[in-house]
Amino acid sequence: MTQKALITGATGFIGSRLCLELKKEGWTLRALALPGENCDRIAGDVSEIVRGDITRPGTLTGIGDGMDVVFHLAARVLDYGSKKQFYAPIYDGTKNMLEACAGRAKRFLFVSSIAACGLGRHLKGVKESDPTQKSGIPYNDAKADAEVL
């Protein structure tokens, strides 16, 4: 039986590679992309491109319907911006996706970052089970907060 997945952040570096690898394994893929976003990189790897915005819950209706797995990779990855600019897609967007997919998708996989564990030499040997630690950097802190949703 073919597995079905929704991928947010599918047009990004990691997301596009995930699309490629899952397609090789025979998955049926749905990508969520921002309105107007260039999807040429993934067009041959996904079965469906849905236009929506994780910061606007009204655009997410039915997004997780029938999915075996939601791979949530979408985030602001620029190295500058305000706290609000990072929290809107990372924290609020994750909350919106969880709500939109609740009871509709079998699994939800949130892709976080080592940045959620803070900064410093203590990160050598860090494990997924280690606690998050805020650093005062908006991207890092938004990822840390989104992990507890």
Model confidence over 55-86: pLDDT tens digits? Answer: 999 999 999 999 999 999 999 988 899 999 99
Q: What is the pTM of this model?
A: 0.94
DSSP one-letter code for 117: G
Domain count, the chain: 1
Cβ-count burial of 93 within 10 angstroms (0-12 exposed, 13-18 middle, 19+ buried)? buried
Question: What pairing do the DSSP bridges indicate for beta strands 107-110 and 48-51?
Answer: unpaired
Flag whether 84 is in a domain: yes
Angle at alpha carbon of residue 27, lines to 45 and 127, rounded to 5°: 100
Flag whether 37 is in a domain: yes
Name the residue range of residue 69's domain: 4-113
CATH number at residue 25: 3.40.50.720
45 within 8 A of 19, measured Cβ to Cβ = yes
Flag whether 36 is in a domain: yes
Q: What would the two tokens of residue 56 be?
A: 């606007």
129 sits in the region (left: phi over 0; alpha: psi -120 to 50; else beta) called alpha
Flag whether 147 is in a domain: no
Flag whether 124 is in a domain: no
Flag whether 68 is in a domain: yes
**From CA 33, how far away is CA 73, in angstroms rounded?**
11
The pLDDT score that the predictor gives to residue 38 is 97
Flag whether 132 is in a domain: no
Flag whether 135 is in a domain: no
* 112-148 tens-digit pLDDT: 999 999 888 778 888 889 899 999 999 999 999 999 9
* 41-51 tens-digit pLDDT: 999 999 999 99
DSSP one-letter code for 118: -
